C-alpha cells in the first residue's frame, strides 16, 4: 500500500484545493444578463477538478497510477527550479513595474538559453506586446503599465 500512498495524497490535496475554489466560486453570480456570469467557469472547472481528483484517488488505490519515476534530481531539478524562480520574479516585477517590463523580462529569462540575444529580445518584446494589445484592445481587460513605482 505504501507505493500507492503518494497518488492518494496527491489526489486528496488536489481535491481539497478544488473544494476550496468551488466554495469561493459560489460567491459570484452563476449567470448574468447576457449569459454565463463570473461564477460560471470557476464553478464548473473546480467541480470537474474535484471529480477528476476522486477518480485519481480510486485509480491510485487500485494500483493503476504507479510510476517508476522518482523526484527529479540534477539537471531536471535545476530546470524546474529555474522556471519557478522565473515565475516568482514575474509576479514581483508585475507588482512593481507592471505587465510590459515583467513580461519582457520573464520571456527573456526563458528564451535566453535557446536563442541568440537578438532573437530572444525580439521574441520577448513581440510576444509581450501582442498579449498586451490582445488584452487591452480585443478583450478590454486593461493590464497595468506600471506598478507601485510608477
29-70 pLDDT tens trace: 888 777 788 888 899 999 999 999 999 998 888 877 666 656
141-150 pLDDT tens trace: 888 877 665 5
- The answer to whether 145 and 100 have CB atoms below 8 angstroms apart is yes
| pTM exceeding the 0.85 threshold for the entire prediction | no
Amino acid at each position: 500500500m505504501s507505493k500507492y500512498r503518494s497518488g492518494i495524497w496527491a489526489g486528496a490535496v488536489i481535491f481539497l484545493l478544488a473544494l476550496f475554489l468551488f466554495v469561493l466560486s459560489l460567491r459570484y453570480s452563476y449567470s448574468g444578463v447576457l449569459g454565463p456570469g463570473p461564477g460560471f467557469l470557476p464553478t464548473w472547472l473546480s467541480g470537474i477538478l474535484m471529480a477528476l481528483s476522486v477518480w485519481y484517488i480510486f485509480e491510485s488505490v487500485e494500483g493503476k497510477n504507479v510510476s517508476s519515476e522518482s523526484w527529479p534530481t540534477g539537471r531536471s531539478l535545476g530546470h524546474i527550479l529555474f522556471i519557478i524562480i522565473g515565475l516568482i520574479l514575474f509576479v514581483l516585477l508585475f507588482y512593481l513595474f507592471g505587465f510590459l517590463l515583467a513580461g519582457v523580462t520573464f520571456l527573456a529569462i526563458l528564451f535566453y538559453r535557446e536563442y541568440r540575444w537578438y532573437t530572444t529580445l525580439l521574441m520577448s518584446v513581440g510576444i509581450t506586446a501582442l498579449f498586451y494589445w490582445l488584452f487591452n484592445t480585443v478583450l478590454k481587460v486593461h493590464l497595468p503599465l506600471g506598478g507601485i513605482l510608477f
